[in-house]
Structure 1
Amino acid sequence: MNTIELRKQIEQNLLQISPKNLNTIAKFVEFIKQQENSQNIHLLLSETIAYKPASGQSVLRHAGQWVGDDL
């Protein structure tokens, strides 16, 4: 079944559902949309962020160079 046929079948079924259950279905559809948006955001972030682990070199470079009397 393709997407258009599936949408038509869902629309036909919605015509036979009580208002109380329509409300439940509307909430479920919103939940699914939020899940998809969340997944899309994670995919976009993982594609755009190039994470490079810290090497620790900057800490070693500054070790022993503290000047001050607050210790």
Structure 2
Amino acid sequence: MKIKDLTFNIFNKNLNSKIFLQLDEKKDRQPLKLTKRTKGTIALLLVTSMILSVVYASDYLKTHENNVFAT
């Protein structure tokens, strides 16, 4: 037996382990059931926070234009 085959057999000895098993039902993969309204609220909050952070960063760079790289 070649060394290559030996290592392959060692790693693939137990194919019934938890790594190779697939989940049976969709509810096991998605424990949180979110409605469209909840998903929309989360998306709106994320987009709002991204817009506010971009506005803050651009305002900061405008006010500290000369001191950004003053180290």
Higher helix share: 1
Q: Same fold (TM over 0.5)?
A: no
TM-score normalized with structure 1 length: 0.45
